[in-house]
Amino acid sequence: MDWLHMPPLASLRAFSAFAEAGNVVQAGAALNVSHSAISQQLRALESHLGAALLDRSGRALALTSEGAHLARALQLGFGAIQAAVQEITQAGTARPLHVTCTPMFAAHWLMPRLPGFQADNPGIDLVLDPTGSLVELKPGGIDIALRYGDGSWPGLETEMLLASPMVVVAAPGLLGGRQVSAPEDLLDLPWLEELGTSEAGLWLQSRGVSEGLRGPRTRLPGNLLMQAVKAGQGVAVSVRAFVEEELAEGRLLALFTEGQGRGYHIATRPGVLRPEARKFIAWLRRQRQPF
């Protein structure tokens, strides 16, 4: 395609609108511009092509043979563009909004609030994909990821949704009165981890502990993890916001607190978001409040 020698798109649109409407007034109304603007674009197009596209000898403008030839080509071209645009936009509208997050975040934060979004947006179908694995955001796939960390994920745009550090917790009954002053004091205890993650190992590595766990390690869905922790079945790494009530009431003990400045972020691909995704993100922002 020789783009450098193509006429300006504005003049082609004006000419095609005129050929379809039959006069400059209706063409201007179709493009939401004045009829004089249409006339200027028509003259500019003739000047660019060096050919007479309109016969001005009569009381009304009429297409010359060259003008009729160009009008047919533009009708086919713009018609194909319009069809493709409609297919793309309709496909995007028909596709459900796809959101991914961890099962723990879904159970403790998102699901209790989600009925409010659905009540305000009954026309938006939603697919919620709770997984502990890091899922790649691709066009036509997942629209929004709600991820925990510092927000520095290459290739994604992020903003903080829920700021909260990580905390290592256990039920008082599990500890049996033992004093915990270093990570090594926990190595012989059972540990609980959310499926798809390795919080225990990563936390111990971050503390410089090279020795592995001696106690058993159990992986289970995030919506069951905190039940098991409160039942005294193991030590776990959690987001502090999810256990504030249990800590305040003494049902759990915070053994170590890590990661100030971290939290759950809204993560999306760069570029223009679907209208459904923009509405969901706007709703998420309104949910920012103390846990």
* The pLDDT value given to residue 228: 92
Three-class SS of residue 78?
A: helix
AA letter at 264:
Y
* The pLDDT value given to residue 224: 85
DSSP states of 85-97? HHHHHHHHHHSPE
* The pLDDT value given to residue 92: 55
* The pLDDT value given to residue 204: 77
Place of tokens 């596209």: 53
- Do residues 223 and 103 make contact, with C-beta atoms less than 8 angstroms apart? yes
Place of tokens 């080509």: 73
Tell me how far apart the alpha carbons of residues 173 and 170 are, in angstroms, rounded to a whole number.
8
Please name which of 185, 198, 196 lies closest in space to residue 253, comparing C-alpha atoms: 185
Backbone dihedral region for residue 129 (phi beyond 0: left; psi -120 to 50: alpha; all else: beta): beta
* The pLDDT value given to residue 178: 84
* The pLDDT value given to residue 9: 92
* The pLDDT value given to residue 272: 81
Q: Which long-range contacts (CB under 8 A, 24 or more apart) does 271-280 make?
A: 273/143, 274/92, 274/97, 274/143, 276/93, 276/97, 276/121, 276/124, 276/143, 277/97, 277/143, 277/144, 279/121, 279/124, 280/97, 280/99, 280/117, 280/121, 280/124, 280/126, 280/143, 280/144
User: Per the confidence metrics, is the pTM higher than 0.95?
Assistant: no
**Cβ partners under 8 Å of residue 230, min gap 6:** 171, 246, 251, 252
* The pLDDT value given to residue 91: 59
* The pLDDT value given to residue 291: 47
* The pLDDT value given to residue 13: 94
Three-class SS of residue 157?
A: strand
The number of helix segments (H) and strand segments (E) in the chain equals 11, 12
N-terminal to C-terminal alpha carbon distance within the chain: 57
Return per-residue pLDDT of the chain as tens, 291 residues. Answer: 788 888 999 999 999 999 999 889 999 999 999 999 999 999 999 999 999 999 988 888 899 999 999 999 999 998 888 888 776 766 555 688 999 998 888 988 999 999 999 999 998 999 988 877 777 777 778 899 998 888 888 889 999 999 898 899 999 999 888 888 888 888 888 999 888 777 777 777 777 776 677 878 888 887 788 889 999 999 998 889 889 999 999 999 999 988 777 899 999 988 888 889 999 999 999 998 654
Tell me the β-bridge partners of 235: 191
Q: Is the dihedral of CA 12, 18, 19, 21 positive or negative?
A: positive
Please name which of 165, 163, 161 lies closest in space to residue 99, comparing C-alpha atoms: 161
